[in-house]
Chains A and B, each alone.
Chain A
Amino acid sequence: MKKAYVRQSPGDAKAMYDAYNEVMVDLIRKNDKIIMLYGDFPRGAAGELATKEFPDRVIDVGIAEANLITLAAGLAGAGKIPFTHCHSIFAVGRAYNQIRQNIAFDKYNAKIVMLNTGMLWAFMGGSHQTIEEIAALRVIPNLVLLSPCDPVETKKATQAALDYVGPVAIRLANPPVPTIYKEDLPFEIGKAVLVNEGKDATIIATGICVGDALQATELLEKDGVKVRLLDMHTIKPLDEAAIIKAAKDTGAIVTVEDVSILGGLGGAVAEVVCENNPVPVKRVGIKDRFGQSATIDELKKEYEISADHIARAVKDVLKKRK
């Protein structure tokens, strides 16, 4: 059963970066501490507006992600609120030590906007599809990691990132995503959103995979399987209470993500479940492989993260449920 703040059927699709920009247009005008930093990246509506109205609050460092992240730390150390923008693979992959040492170590109030996250980036191929984001970032102390799933949640996550004083990384996927939520979605950092209620098993999904997970609950419903769906929009701090409750209430868990299951959301959920209330867990996500050029649908099929795969994983885990 869907919660009241979930649309009965998905609304218009929109790129998360566009949704992010819609809210940033407003925030840039309201808060003069916000500085927009780009690593040779399309600026979007907010960046274009800032370039025109507040040119000294826009800094492009070129193709130099290490400098991008450390420079942001310097700005934050002087009281500014930097928002950095670059492809996820180059933030996590090329500037990992800068995120760790320059941003998180001193808890700087900097926001790392990671774009074109995860496996679900069509055409670009394995060099650009990031499978490491969650595993790599969730072990960094002090860092909040957000992973919204639709345009409404993206806007709320952006506002929450600004309201939170400290380092935040936000994952924004490339493809347009359908609108899952109504505007009254409650959003709190570190508190999972209950999307769908059910007692047979729980799906815990994050980011762009929440839409597919929701479809999976509908497929399963037709077969009489009632599944709880949690949208784990905050990877860190992880909502351990919601995970433990899911294990106790439903006795079986499937995790869904478009990054590596090794150390990813699946790994994080398994850690909590094993320590607190062991129940069968099945991880849907990237199984220790690099990506490749393909359409989104082809990628979902090849890497076994489609709604069908999620539904099948639930049926598999139910067989192990005691």
Chain B
Amino acid sequence: MVDQALIKKLEEKAKIIRRDAITMIKAGGLGWVGGSFSQADIIATLVFHTMKHDPKNPSLEDRDRLIVSKAHCCETVYAALGEAGYFSKEEYQHYGKYGAKLQAHTEKTTPGIEYSGGSLGQGLSFALGQAMAARIGAPKDSAGKPIPRYRVFCILGDGELDEGQVWEAVMAAAHYKVDNLYAFVDHNKYQSGGRVVDRINITPLAVKWRAFGWHTEEINGHNFEEILNAIDRAEKTPGRPHVIIAHTIKCKGVPTLENKNVHFCKLTDEMYEEAVKALK
């Protein structure tokens, strides 16, 4: 049974980061509303509950790591980090502008960001490297298996799974039994050019990940109870890397924009008003 107070808190945080993300996109003029909003509930859960981290000390040793491989969807990530206290929310006004701390794709120079993305398909390999580093030289349990010093969470887009390098990392993670690696597929069914199934059909997804040796969960990525339970089950499943395939809705949170493949777009005044209204 999941703590209802926790769910209420996460719902509130998710609303705040969507709202702040819209503020940011409005200031920058451009942004990735759809994919940023579809992952927002997962981001909120990780940043405000699951992960061990310290906004006052972003380089805390043995902190859990968040690697957002779909690094264009940076706005809800920045909003979560700002809300957590990694930097001032004043930074939102400079998003994507000359000299900004918040670049148009996540960069490691921003406090709390662990990975400079922008080239899709690479984040899982990076996350795997970080997860393996947590095991090298770590203390071992009675069975001789390393007790990892921290966990690594990686968020992948579904369109991103077209990239072959993702599957190189998937194979390597299973081969080395990297069970401190947790991947989320933000399965919002759209990519830049349209519906994922119309571009390159990547389904069935769960079957693929299972066949590659991963502990695989399939959930509604907007249901906090399901997100929390899936992470919980993953934590109790040793010996394999974990993937949580989260069925999500592009632009979730703004009903008039949902599932319309609002990918990279100029935020019109009308869209902004609709979003502000929906996220009150």
A residues engaging B (CB < 8 A)? Answer: 32, 35, 56-57, 59, 61-62, 64, 66-67, 70-80, 82, 97-98, 101-102, 105-106
B118 on interface, CB distance cutoff 8 Å: yes
Q: How many A-B residue pairs have CB under 8 A?
A: 94
B116 on interface, CB distance cutoff 8 Å: yes
Given contacts A71-B132, A105-B116, contact A66 B168 (CB under 8 A): yes
Which one of B10-18, B121-129, B264-272 contacts A? B121-129
Minimum CB–CB distance from A10 to chain B (whole Å) comes to 41
Given contacts A62-B172, A67-B172, A71-B169, contact A102 B130 (CB under 8 A): no
Q: Which of B103-157 contact A (CB under 8 A)?
A: 108, 114-116, 118-119, 121-122, 125-137, 146
Minimum CB–CB distance from A43 to chain B (whole Å) comes to 17
- In Å, the complex CA distance between A195 and B115 comes to 43
Q: Is the CB of A78 within 8 A of B129?
A: yes
B93 on interface, CB distance cutoff 8 Å: no
Q: Is the CB of B132 within 8 A of A59?
A: yes
14 A–B contacts, CB within 8 A, in A order: A59-B132, A67-B128, A70-B125, A70-B129, A71-B125, A71-B172, A73-B125, A74-B126, A74-B129, A76-B129, A78-B130, A78-B134, A80-B136, A101-B116
Identify the closest chain A residue to B67 (Cβ): A74
Given contacts A73-B126, A74-B126, contact A35 B168 (CB under 8 A): no
Q: A73-B125, A73-B126, A75-B133 are in contact. List 7 more A-B contacts (CB 8 A).
A: A64-B171, A66-B121, A70-B126, A74-B126, A74-B127, A98-B125, A101-B122
Q: Is the CB of B133 within 8 A of A80?
A: yes
Given contacts A66-B164, A101-B119, contact A77 B130 (CB under 8 A): yes
| Range class of the B interface residue count | 20 to 34
Q: Is the CB of A102 within 8 A of B136?
A: no
Given contacts A56-B146, A102-B126, contact A61 B168 (CB under 8 A): yes
B-side contacts of A82, CB under 8 Å: 129
Given contacts A56-B137, A67-B169, A106-B108, contact A74 B125 (CB under 8 A): yes
Identify the closest chain A residue to B123 (Cβ): A70
Given contacts A32-B137, A56-B136, A98-B122, contact A71 B129 (CB under 8 A): yes
- In Å, the complex CA distance between A57 and B138 comes to 12
Minimum CB–CB distance from B275 to chain A (whole Å) comes to 31
Q: Is the CB of B130 within 8 A of A75?
A: yes
- In Å, the complex CA distance between A98 and B118 comes to 11
- In Å, the complex CA distance between A76 and B126 comes to 10
Given contacts A56-B146, A71-B169, A106-B108, contact A77 B126 (CB under 8 A): yes
A-side contacts of B136, CB under 8 Å: 35, 56-57, 80
- In Å, the complex CA distance between A57 and B132 comes to 10
- In Å, the complex CA distance between A56 and B116 comes to 27
- Select which of A57, A64, A80, A102 is within 8 A of B168 by beta carbon: A64
Minimum CB–CB distance from A190 to chain B (whole Å) comes to 25
Identify the closest chain A residue to B115 (Cβ): A77
Q: Which of B202-237 contact A (CB under 8 A)?
A: none
Minimum CB–CB distance from B25 to chain A (whole Å) comes to 24
Identify the closest chain B residue to A95 (Cβ): B165
**Residue in A74, A77, A98, A101 whose Cβ sees the most chain B Cβ within 10 Å:** A74
- In Å, the complex CA distance between A284 and B133 comes to 44
- In Å, the complex CA distance between A72 and B118 comes to 18
Q: Is the CB of B132 within 8 A of A67?
A: no
Minimum CB–CB distance from B92 to chain A (whole Å) comes to 24
- In Å, the complex CA distance between A56 and B176 comes to 10
Minimum CB–CB distance from A165 to chain B (whole Å) comes to 16
Given contacts A71-B132, A75-B129, A78-B129, contact A102 B122 (CB under 8 A): yes
A-side contacts of B171, CB under 8 Å: 62, 64
**Residue in B116, B127, B171 whose Cβ sees the most chain A Cβ within 10 Å:** B116
Q: Is the CB of B172 within 8 A of A77?
A: no
Q: Is the CB of A101 within 8 A of B172?
A: no
Identify the closest chain B residue to A100 (Cβ): B119
Given contacts A59-B132, A102-B126, contact A66 B165 (CB under 8 A): yes
A-side contacts of B125, CB under 8 Å: 66-67, 70-71, 73-74, 98, 102
- In Å, the complex CA distance between A78 and B116 comes to 14
Minimum CB–CB distance from B104 to chain A (whole Å) comes to 14
Q: Is the CB of A67 within 8 A of B133?
A: no
Q: Is the CB of B133 within 8 A of A78?
A: yes
Q: Is the CB of A67 within 8 A of B168?
A: yes
A-side contacts of B131, CB under 8 Å: 74
- In Å, the complex CA distance between A80 and B131 comes to 12
Q: Which of B159-175 contact A (CB under 8 A)?
A: 164-165, 168-169, 171-172
Given contacts A62-B171, A73-B126, A106-B116, contact A79 B133 (CB under 8 A): yes
Q: Is the CB of B119 within 8 A of A97?
A: yes
Minimum CB–CB distance from A69 to chain B (whole Å) comes to 8
- In Å, the complex CA distance between A156 and B49 comes to 49
Given contacts A101-B119, A102-B126, contact A74 B168 (CB under 8 A): no
Binary contact track B13-32/A, C-beta < 8 Å → 1, others 0: 00000000000000000000
Minimum CB–CB distance from B105 to chain A (whole Å) comes to 10
A-side contacts of B129, CB under 8 Å: 70-78, 82
Minimum CB–CB distance from A141 to chain B (whole Å) comes to 13
Closest 9 CB pairs of A and B: A74-B129, A78-B133, A70-B125, A67-B168, A64-B168, A71-B129, A74-B126, A66-B165, A74-B130
